[in-house]
Structure 1
Amino acid sequence: MLSNSDRVELTELRRALHRHPELSGEEIETAKTIAGELTALAPTTILRCLGGHGVAAVFDSGKEGPTVLFRAELDALPIHEKSANPWASEVPGKGHLCGHDGHMMFLMGLGRLLSRRPVEKGRVVLMFQPAEEDGSGARAVVADPAFEAIRPDWAFAIHIEPGRPWGYVSSRAGLINCASQGLQIRLTGKTAHAADPEDGVSPARTVVKLVPELDDLGHGGRLDDHFRLVTITHVQIGEPTFGTAPGDAVIYATLRTARDEAMADMSNEARRLASKAAREAGLTVKFEVFDDFAASINHPEATNVAIEAMNALGIENGDYGLPMRASEDFGVFGWCAKAAMLCLGHGEDYAGLHTPDYDFPDDLLPMGVKIFERIARDLLGG
């Protein structure tokens, strides 16, 4: 159990990180701070620069047993924080508005408890992942050759989720977060004088035709294995001028599915539609992918471990609000481990994630630590 001084110190650390947010792929100082704090806990090993700026602390019992990984995220968002708190972001246009600063404290708190009372067997890995917000971090971590030395058998994460009762945890076996992909479609023709549009190759009609075709690839609906959703988020044709017929256009489409295989299929369908439309209009087309998230699928055994831990602690839990259309980068860890994501509520009327007035509620810090510690000791003893 965390002491009062633990809670005060972790809250101060959380607020210090909150004041200095760093975006995906830029988490240099955040990683340095975390590594420094971990060093004081004397873990067996600290790995740095995993998949970019990732940091992992290993607490090894020295006895044979499974490897259990707990994940938090280092990065913040490109959103300007609006807050009167003395620990509000000091970096214009950037803010810890998704709870990642609090998630890091779940792991730091667990590290303190493990340093005082080690597990009996196996090892615990505290994984501070970079670049969660753009979906690139977990893949980079898992692909890093250094990750092989800490490849886990089990993986767990907690994400704060507004809209749920205070202290209530949502989890279930199966789909938790959808796969998603940001697909940029760039069409290029030839500009012309607005008085002589026939001298150019305009993408305007192609865009008008293509947008509803893309939209028809997925209309959402029930969140089962067949779920598909396309959201057109941005369209631009030419430049805002009256004298020039456009010669280029760009379409941003966010694709969502319940399964990774379905995402690959839908992305290929979107590319085929765009390629066909471009070819028929005499345009060239280029594609670029952004914010590429795998689906988060909870393993039944890992889910049961987490639920049993919460039941033993008397923490109310269920599957309220699940699955979710929103995406999460944790799913990649489920490719190599029995993984489970838990969604910790902090009130139905609390500010939403990714909003300028959001702040992690520090009073929930002990609960996240307590859940993680119970899972660790249930699997590894101690």
Structure 2
Amino acid sequence: MLTQGDLADLTAFRQELHRFPEVSRHETATAARIVQALAPLGADQVVTGLGGHGVAAVFNGLSAGPTLMFRAELDALPIEELSEVGHRSTIPGKGHLCGHDGHMTLLLGLGRLIARARPARGRVVLMFQPAEEDGSGAAAVVADPRFAALRPDWAFAIHNMPGLPFGVSALKAGAVNCASQGLKITLTGKTAHASLPETGLSPALALARLIPAIAALGQVGPLGPDYRLVTITHARLGEAAFGIAPGEAELWVTLRTMEDGQMAALRQAAMDLARAEAAGQGLGIRFRHHDDFAASVNDAQAVAHLARALDALGMAHDEGDLPMRASEDFGRFGQGGTRSAMLFLGVGEGHPALHNPDYDFPDALIAPGVGIFHQVMRDLLG
């Protein structure tokens, strides 16, 4: 178990991370802090620069056996923190408003326990993954040639969840997070003087027609295999000037499906619709893809191990409101034969929501979160 001294150290470390948030693909100092905190724990190997700024600490057991990976995220959000806590962000426009500072702290707490008593067999990989918030991090880690030597048999993660009672977990087998992708559509025509718009080629009508047409490709409804949602997130037309008839427009769209297999069809439908509209107006068109999240699907056996750990610790759990519309790139680690599962650990029904400007990870969640990971490790590796 963690001592009171451990909890004091971990709380201070979590709050230090909170003060210095770094967004996706810029987690240089955060990764360095993690490496420094791992140093006294005696890991058999620390791999840095995984998929960008990722860090993996490997602890070998006393004999051969399966590999368990426990994952946390390094990145923060490009959101201004509006909080009165003493450890609030010192970086304007950036904040740990999703709890990744807390998730990293859980892994370091687990590392402390492993340092005192190695598992009887196998090995444990503590994976501090970069760039979760834009969906690029897990894919980059898995694509890193060095990941092959770390590839786990089992992978587990905890995500804190406001709205759930404190210490109560939402856990189920099967799909738990939707797949999603960002699609940026650029329409190009020709600018003109605002007094002579007929001498140019404006994308205004095409943009106006595309917004409702693309949104209609999705529908808000029950989450199931055929679920799909299209959200218009941003639109831009021309320059911010009164003297110029526009020659370019952008439309940003988030596509969301319950299963990976449905995403390609939805993306193609959106692109075909945009191409037809552009062609009808004589406009050029180009596409860019962003924030590509695979669906997160919990393996039934991995879920059973998490449920067994929660039961052993006397912690309540049920399926809650799973699956959820939001995306999470942990699903990438469940591909390629790894049995993976994530649980959602309640931080309180009245707690500010994730990505809210006043969100803060509750330090009281450190001990139960570490306890869950440690119990899973002991159950699987002894």
After TM superposition, the score normalised by the length of structure 2 is: 0.98
Q: Determine the structure 2 residue equivalent to 1:179.
A: 179
Report the CA distance between 1:321 and its aligned residue. Answer: 1.7
User: Distance between the aligned counterparts of 2:254 and 2:174, measured in 1?
Assistant: 23
Percent of residue pairs identical = 55
Q: Secondary structure at the match of 1:212?
A: helix
User: Distance between the aligned counterparts of 2:218 and 2:94, measured in 1?
Assistant: 33
User: Distance between the aligned counterparts of 1:90 and 1:215, measured in 2?
Assistant: 38
Q: Determine the structure 2 residue equivalent to 1:238.
A: 238
Report the CA distance between 1:198 and its aligned residue. Answer: 2.2
Determine whether 1:339 maps to 2:340.
yes
Amino acid at match of 1:370: G
Q: Determine the structure 2 residue equivalent to 1:362.
A: 363
Q: Determine the structure 1 residue equivalent to 2:8.
A: 8
Amino acid at match of 1:61: G
Aligned length: 381
Report the CA distance between 1:59 and its aligned residue. Answer: 0.7
Report the CA distance between 1:161 and its aligned residue. Answer: 0.6
Q: Determine the structure 2 residue equivalent to 1:189.
A: 189
Q: Secondary structure at the match of 1:268?
A: helix
Q: Determine the structure 2 residue equivalent to 1:151.
A: 151
Q: Secondary structure at the match of 2:376?
A: helix
User: Distance between the aligned counterparts of 1:288 and 1:260, measured in 2?
Assistant: 19
Determine whether 1:122 maps to 2:122.
yes
User: Distance between the aligned counterparts of 1:80 and 1:211, measured in 2?
Assistant: 29
Report the CA distance between 1:320 and its aligned residue. Answer: 0.7
Amino acid at match of 1:257: T
Report the CA distance between 1:234 and its aligned residue. Answer: 1.3
Q: Secondary structure at the match of 1:59?
A: strand
Mind listing any 5+ residue stretches in structure 1 that lack a counterpart? none
Determine whether 1:203 maps to 2:176.
no
Q: Determine the structure 2 residue equivalent to 1:78.
A: 78
String of CA shifts for 1:294-353, please: whole Å, max 9, x gaps.
111101111111111111111000011211111111110011311101100011110111
Report the CA distance between 1:196 and its aligned residue. Answer: 2.6
Q: Determine the structure 2 residue equivalent to 1:43.
A: 43
Report the CA distance between 1:63 and its aligned residue. Answer: 2.0
Determine whether 1:228 maps to 2:228.
yes
Q: Determine the structure 1 residue equivalent to 2:33.
A: 33
Q: Determine the structure 2 residue equivalent to 1:87.
A: 87
Report the CA distance between 1:62 and its aligned residue. Answer: 4.9
Report the CA distance between 1:212 and its aligned residue. Answer: 1.7
Q: Determine the structure 2 residue equivalent to 1:132.
A: 132
Q: Secondary structure at the match of 1:40?
A: helix
Report the CA distance between 1:36 and its aligned residue. Answer: 1.3
Amino acid at match of 1:52: G
Q: Secondary structure at the match of 2:68?
A: strand
Determine whether 1:371 maps to 2:372.
yes
Q: Determine the structure 2 residue equivalent to 1:104.
A: 104
| Deviates most, 272-281 or 370-379 | 272-281
String of CA shifts for 1:50-96, please: whole Å, max 9, x gaps.
00000000111152211110000011111111122221111111111
RMSD: 1.0
User: Distance between the aligned counterparts of 1:220 and 1:333, measured in 2?
Assistant: 28
Q: Is the 8 A contact 2:24 2:134 kept in 1?
A: yes
Report the CA distance between 1:239 and its aligned residue. Answer: 2.2
Q: Secondary structure at the match of 1:55?
A: strand
Q: Secondary structure at the match of 1:180?
A: strand
User: Distance between the aligned counterparts of 1:9 and 1:144, measured in 2?
Assistant: 32
| Deviates most, 107-116 or 271-280 | 271-280
Report the CA distance between 1:244 and its aligned residue. Answer: 2.4
Q: Is the 8 A contact 2:62 2:119 kept in 1?
A: no
Residues 208-287 of structure 1 mapped to structure 2, 5 A cutoff = 208-287=208-287
Amino acid at match of 1:104: M
Q: Secondary structure at the match of 1:220?
A: coil
Amino acid at match of 2:89: S
Amino acid at match of 2:296: S
User: Distance between the aligned counterparts of 1:330 and 1:120, measured in 2?
Assistant: 27
User: Distance between the aligned counterparts of 2:138 and 2:207, measured in 1?
Assistant: 34
Report the CA distance between 1:191 and its aligned residue. Answer: 1.2
Report the CA distance between 1:32 and its aligned residue. Answer: 0.8
Residues 151-170 of structure 1 mapped to structure 2, 5 A cutoff = 151-170=151-170
